Amino acid sequence: MANINVDDSLNSFIQKQVSSGRYQNESDVVNHALQEMAAKQAKLETLQRHLLEGERQALSGEFVEQSMEDMLSEFKRNYTKGNGL
């Protein structure tokens, strides 16, 4: 494992997380934080791909007749199924 240095405020936060009993040690806190960061990055990359695809479709004249409410409903359905962001 890599040896890392964190500033005092982050070190204090890590120690509080361990003291709370939520994590067994400092490594568990850092691992969880990095997993969350990786998941957030993956979601961002997915969103960027969707936006680029939408831009490509718009520029090529591919439009969908759909109300804002229908689009939001579709997004929410996909999101709750785990297919979305």
The C-alpha atoms of residue 73 and residue 51 are separated, in whole angstroms, by 18
pLDDT in tens, 18-70: 999 999 999 999 999 999 999 999 999 999 999 999 899 888 988 777 888 98
What is the helix, strand, coil percentage profile of the chain, to 5?
A: 70, 0, 30
pLDDT band at 16 (very low <50, low <70, confident <90, very high): very high
